[in-house]
Each structure stands twice: as structure tokens, then as C-alpha cells.
Structure 1
């Protein structure tokens, strides 16, 4: 029997809509060319990473999947367990690779351009949310 903390997962899945909204607004705001918008991009990317990996960790623990050794491994495990497909996995792996530059190498983080993931994330995060909910429902029936 699995113990999946559905409440915590659902809270984080619901939060994804805020990250999606921020990513949808960033391209138009980018023209403003203010440092605040650059920092908003970084925070939106960081929150996307943390939310996806938090959900992934909760699922790995709850469904007793193999232990993850890195942020990229969390994505690999979920893809191997067929929580989501390869296209979603590829984009999410690109996303989590930004964690180190965002939280450790922030002084040299490239903030002059809108990161291409910002435009991709709304669709990918929406699909991720649907896929996670479907997987949980299927597994807990």
C-alpha cells in the first residue's frame, strides 16, 4: 500500500497555475527592459524548478520509486515510471539544469535575453499537472 501525500502534491499542482501566469506575462513585460523584469524571470524559472521537483520527490517517496540522486534524476525516474512522456521530460530536464546557475552562479547568470523556456513552460507545466493527476488517480484506484 502506498502513502502518497496527495494534499501536498495538490497544493503544489495548484501553485503551478501562478508560475504559468508569470511565464505568460513575462514576454510582454520583457520589452520594459527593467532589472525587475529580469529578476522576475529568474524567480519564475526557480519556482518552476522547485515546484516540479518537490512534486517529483513526493511522488517518488509515496509510490516507492527508486531514490533520486539529482534534480535531473527526479525527472528521469518520473519519465521511466511513465508519469509523463518524453517530450515533457526533455523540457523539464532543460529546466532543472538551470537550478545551479540560478541559485549558485547568479552573479554571472545571463539575464539580457528572455530564456526560451519561459515561452515553453506554460504548455509543459499544464501538461505536467494533468499527467501527474492522471498518474495518481490511476495508481491509487
Structure 2
């Protein structure tokens, strides 16, 4: 009935524990150094990419309405009950950072700890758990 690339989704979700760990470690040890700043930047970037890739795969596989933006991907999967609003809200903020991280990286404030860095580990793991629960429910 549905053509969901579960392998691709789970492969991406499998990256989230390491990214969450990197974000947590960066938060705890933050001193504003270059390496910490670059690690934070890459972890935030990968967070945005994984969330949007997984969301897009879910939208395509379960034939949800087409997304018009990265933020819309989050709105759609939240509206379809894949993720809760508590998870969706910070994910909207991370996908809004994507342009700065990918296209305007020369302006990124690497010496500053971004507020999402501390919040995202919990959110990313919640995202992963909720996507897995949705897959189990819908593909059973």
C-alpha cells in the first residue's frame, strides 16, 4: 500500500544518538574555542539535515501533502501525528537555521553557544522514538 523507504529512515535515525552526544558534550565543555564552535555547527547542521530527510521520506512514503519549505516538512509530520508539538517546535527552529548553516556559514557566530545545542539532544531522541512508533503503527 505504501512505499516507505524504512531502511533509509532508520539509517538516518541511527545517526542521531552520536549527534545528540556531540551536542551534549559540546554544551558541557563549552569554552568558545574554534574546534567546539565547528563541532557545534556541524552537529546542528546534521540535525537539520536528518530531520528534513526523514520528514521528506515520511511525506513521500505515506503520501502526505507536498511540503513547500523545510519548516513545512515539520508542520506536515506534526499535523499527521508523526511527532508531537513539543518535538515539532524546536525542530522548526533548527530547520530555520539550515540556511545560515549551509549558505551563510561565513557569518555563523562560532564562538557562541547556540541555545538549541543544549535542547536538541532530548528533542532528537524524542523525534527518533516518535518516528519509530509511527512506523510501527502505520506499517503493522
Q: Under a length normalisation based on structure 1, what TM-score does the superposition of the two structures give?
A: 0.96
Residue pair 2:34, 2:111 contacting (<8 A) in 1 also = no
Matches within 5 A, 1:76-95: 76-95=75-94
Cα deviations across residues 45-94 of structure 1 (Å, max 9, x unaligned)?
00000011110011011000011111101000000001111111110000
Q: CA RMSD of the aligned region, Å?
A: 0.9
Which 4+ residue blocks in structure 1 deviate beyond 2 angstroms?
none
Cα deviations across residues 78-117 of structure 1 (Å, max 9, x unaligned)?
0000111111111000010000111111111122310110
Query: Where does structure 1 lack aligned partners over 5 or more consecutive residues?
Result: none
Q: Which residue of structure 2 lines up, in the alignment, with residue 139 of structure 1?
A: 138
Which SS does the other structure have where 2:63 is aligned? coil
Q: How far, CA to CA, are the matches of 1:91 and 1:58 in structure 2?
A: 20
Aligned residues: 140
Q: Which residue of structure 2 lines up, in the alignment, with residue 41 of structure 1?
A: 40
Matches within 5 A, 1:1-141: 1-31=1-31, 33-141=32-140
Q: How far, CA to CA, are the matches of 2:110 and 2:133 in structure 1?
A: 36
Larger mean CA deviation between 109-118 and 75-84 belongs to: 109-118
